[in-house]
Amino acid sequence: MHLLDWELSTNPKIFCRDMNLGSNVIQPHQQPRSSWTSCVNGQQEVAGQELCKRLRLSLLFTTRLSPCAALRAYIQARHFYSAPKRARAGMNSHLLSSTTTSMTAPWETFQRSLPQASNVDVRQIRGNISDAEKQINANVLAYFTTGSGVSPFPPFGSEIAGRLRIVELNVWDNASTGSAESEVVLEIEVTESMCNVYGTMHGGCAAFILDPCTVSATVLLGLAKAFDGTGVSQSMNVYWHHAALLGSTLTVTTRSVFTDGRARVARCEIREKLTGSLIVSGTHSFLNAGRATKL
């Protein structure tokens, strides 16, 4: 522990959060040297207004960390500070303000390195996030619906899903629930390849559209709040209300409902753009196989 004590005195910029899930998640975070900010069970507290030349181990225990968790803090801090300065800056500069910093490099690097989605002008996408973040969300959607030219397997139904167009992206903190939420609005035109023998959108096609659209809502929230919003489907409930005619334009509105640990749930409404008639509604639950995240 003497080594940990010495390392923290050298690099006091550590943001600690006790996830209260049996394991503690420690991530480096740019914090002023004049304060030690910790987050315990989601509530921020300041333990000490002035960091002296030496930050003692006792400060770690104000965050209720076990010795093993403290050692993990040391290991992660060393990994962060051994990285090039340019790489360290990139770890946090793209994030929105967040109380969750459980970003893991592999999925972050993957999502941010995807090819730019074709035929997407982020300046035409409404919402309260930056154009850069809009572009990343568009790239992720394009990858899962078309493969973006980098997937060895052509995605199912790419001719249809590839025509989904993002029109709005929003992320906000819900004061009444104390959790973050996200909303994605997309549009698509009903073509012959989507219809049944009666010239209306096939019910199976509606369920197919619901899948990537709901996941896009948790991907948006994950990029804003630093967790992997993707996952594998667990269940889907779909309700058909009215028929969507050939040639009509549909507005698909999806919202995150629940994100905790590895579970993700989102809901969706598909409406006829001109009339507002509700065509399909549903919910989609899925699980992420990566690191558990608590918002």
My answer on whether 72 and 168 are in the same domain is no
Whether 45 has a pLDDT exceeding 60, the answer reads: no
My answer on whether 281 and 164 are in the same domain is yes
- The per-residue pLDDT for 138 is 95
My answer on whether 145 and 261 are in the same domain is yes
Which residue from 282, 187, 195 is spatially nearest to 245, judged by alpha carbons? Answer: 195
* Mean pLDDT on 271-292: 90
Find residue 219's DSSP bridge partners.
none
Which residue from 238, 228, 233, 226 is spatially nearest to 269, judged by alpha carbons? Answer: 238
My answer on whether 164 and 226 are in the same domain is yes
- The per-residue pLDDT for 260 is 85
My answer on whether 146 and 66 are in the same domain is no
Alpha carbon distances (Å) from 83 to 77, 78, 79, 142: 10, 9, 7, 31
Q: Alpha-carbon distance 274 to 267, whole Å?
A: 22
Domain boundary among 61, 93, 125: 93
Between 137 and 1, the higher pLDDT residue: 137
Quick check: 125 and 139 in contact, CB under 8 A?
A: no
My answer on whether 200 and 129 are in the same domain is yes
Whether 132 has a pLDDT exceeding 90, the answer reads: yes
Whether 81 has a pLDDT exceeding 50, the answer reads: no
Looking at the domain assignment, is residue 114 inside a domain? yes
Across the chain, what does the average pLDDT equal?
74
My answer on whether 219 and 265 are in the same domain is yes
* Mean pLDDT on 233-253: 97
Q: How many domains does the chain have?
A: 2
Looking at the domain assignment, is residue 98 inside a domain? no
- How sure is the predictor about 183, in pLDDT bands with cuts at 50, 70 and 90? very high
Specify which of 24-28, 66-70, 234-238 reaches the highest per-range mean pLDDT.
234-238
My answer on whether 85 and 117 are in the same domain is no
Looking at the domain assignment, is residue 125 inside a domain? yes
Q: What tokens appear for 264 in the block?
A: 């993700």
**At CB < 8 A and 24+ separation, what contacts does 171-175 make?**
171/96, 171/128, 171/129, 171/220, 171/221, 171/224, 171/225, 172/128
* Mean pLDDT on 146-161: 90
Domain boundary among 35, 64, 93: 93
Domain that holds residue 86: 2-93
Domain boundary among 93, 125, 157: 93
R_g of the chain computed on alpha carbons: 22
My answer on whether 113 and 64 are in the same domain is no
* Mean pLDDT on 275-294: 85
Looking at the domain assignment, is residue 268 inside a domain? yes
Q: Which CATH number goes with the domain that contains 158? A: 3.10.129.10
Decide: helix, strand or coil at residue 142: helix
Looking at the domain assignment, is residue 15 inside a domain? yes
